[in-house]
Amino acid sequence: MLLSCYHPIEHGYVVFGDDSGHQSDDPMSAEFAENDEALQNYIRSHLIKTLDVMRFVVGFCYEKEPEKVYFAGGSAGGREALECATTYGACYDGVFCADPVCDFVMLRLWGALLSKAVYDSYNPVSYPHSDGFIDEKTVWAIQQDAVLRYDALDGIRDGVISNVYAARADRDNFLKDIQKKYNLSDAQLETISVYENGFQLDYTLAGEKKRYRGCCALEGGLMDLGNDPVPREPLDTAYNVHHGDRADGIFKYFIMKDKNWKLIDHDYRHPDEGLLQKLKEASECYDIRLNFDDFIAHGGKLILFTSWNDMSISPWQIADRYMDCVRRYGQSCTDNFIRFYVMPSATHCKGIRMDYLEWLDTWCTTGKYPEGPLYGWIEAIDAEMPMAPFPGWVKYRGGDPKRGSSYEISYDIPEGCADLKEIMENKLPQ
């Protein structure tokens, strides 16, 4: 998500960052959370501590205060970006947030449930088989089938599925076709269901949350189920379900505080009293409250971005949280401090370049958002596309497919896209 050929330090910016309050040789490790200060730093405290140091250094070196303070981050950094705009909303002027972990505990529950769907049948002695595992060749073939089926729905065959809503509306038909084509078992269909649909709990976590939406696993996304049906202990992303690895560490060191916790041995849909209490406590501590009151009063501005092909963070979940803001503050007020884009083809914090810092700086310094259309560069097809404000999607209208002016933003949404309807109407699926 880098700015094309743009180095902020060459344009008068002081650039600063930190290590989120800990250091580790293994980026997948969560063991640092055994130290409570390191854990609290990671969750949010480092964002204000580092800012305080930056202000002191700038004052010492330049003998003046920073004119504006911006933060940019994606994934875990996207979660930090939202913390800057909520917990520390009075301290940051502008925030760029990409593919954020906006529901920390729910995401890790998703990783746990996905791991159980894949490995629940496995027993090294009596049944050394993971019935829910789908091999990489079949996963790739399902993705290619989706591209072949849905690519032209946006007006051009270019390998990019832009009209995700129409593809989503056809999901049940596509699922029946691939079930027959690849002879998918019930266990494998459950794996796809968790990836595609997420889950709904019988209990609630902080903020009365009980629904986590899935990714676009049947609309062109590539499921990351690993290359080996044998679950390691702990789960290892080099071989196993990617989000199983992440969930494993978070449950061991953040939630249960038990390094011997085995992720796939527990029932997360119907947890016992001890597990339920730990989940509720973790959600209260780690999840972000989307309260932008201080940010709004401070005049803060937020550019929020996600991508339909992100298979690590649900784009539907981010859209759901955006609509929570609309319901809380109203569309007019929300438009005054948030711009939310959803683009095709890009994956998790990769695959698109855009001049978000220029847009953010213009907005923060002039009070006016840059007039559109604004464009992003889609790396998969080496082409320019207009940025699509949610719930719009990018439609080809004719001309050179490399030029952004050959596209338009469409708000033509098919009736059969139940997921979008649920998000817009704030309803849980039946």
The reported pLDDT for the residue numbered 1 is 42
CA-to-CA distance for 299 and 337, rounded, in angstroms? 8
Helix 418-425 crosses helix 315-329 at what angle (to 10 degrees)?
30
The reported pLDDT for the residue numbered 4 is 55
The pLDDT of residue 118 is above 70: yes
**Which of the residue ranges 24-28, 104-108, 124-128, 372-376 would you say has the lowest mean pLDDT?**
24-28
Average pLDDT over residues 354-359: 95
Sheet of strand 375-378: strand arrangement:
352-354, 375-378, 383-386
What percent of the chain has a predicted confidence (pLDDT) above 90? 92
Burial-class residue 231 by CB neighbours within 10 Å (0-12, 13-18, 19+).
Answer: buried
The pLDDT of residue 223 is above 60: yes
Q: Which helix (H) or strand (E) holds 354?
A: strand 352-354
The reported pLDDT for the residue numbered 3 is 46
What is the token pair recorded at 349?
């914090």
CA-to-CA distance for 65 and 216, rounded, in angstroms? 45
Phi, psi of 77 (to 5 degrees): -65, -25
The answer to whether 342 and 165 have CB atoms below 8 angstroms apart is no
The answer to whether 249 and 30 have CB atoms below 8 angstroms apart is yes
The pLDDT of residue 378 is above 90: yes
Burial-class residue 427 by CB neighbours within 10 Å (0-12, 13-18, 19+).
Answer: exposed
The pLDDT of residue 112 is above 80: yes
pTM of the full structure: 0.96
The reported pLDDT for the residue numbered 429 is 64
Bond from prior residue into 234 cis (ω within 30 degrees of 0): yes
Residue by residue, DSSP assigns 370-408 as: PPS--EEEETTTTEEEE--BTT-EEEE-SS-TTSGGGEE
pLDDT of 382-416, one tens digit each?
999 999 999 999 999 999 999 999 999 999 999 89
Strands (E), 181-309: 199-205, 209-212, 301-307
Q: Are strands 338-343 and 352-354 parallel, antiparallel or unpaired?
A: unpaired
Strands (E), 29-165: 70-74, 94-98
Closest by Cα among 139, 128, 88, 85 to 322: 85
The reported pLDDT for the residue numbered 159 is 96
pLDDT of 170-205, one tens digit each?
999 999 999 999 999 999 999 999 999 999 999 999
Q: For the chain, list the domains and their CATH numbers.
A: 8-102+289-390 (3.40.50), 105-134+184-286 (no CATH)
The pLDDT of residue 101 is above 50: yes
The answer to whether 304 and 322 have CB atoms below 8 angstroms apart is yes
**Which of the residue ranges 28-32, 45-49, 176-180, 385-389 would you say has the lowest mean pLDDT?**
28-32
The reported pLDDT for the residue numbered 176 is 98
On average, the pLDDT of the chain sits at 95
CA-to-CA distance for 256 and 425, rounded, in angstroms? 35
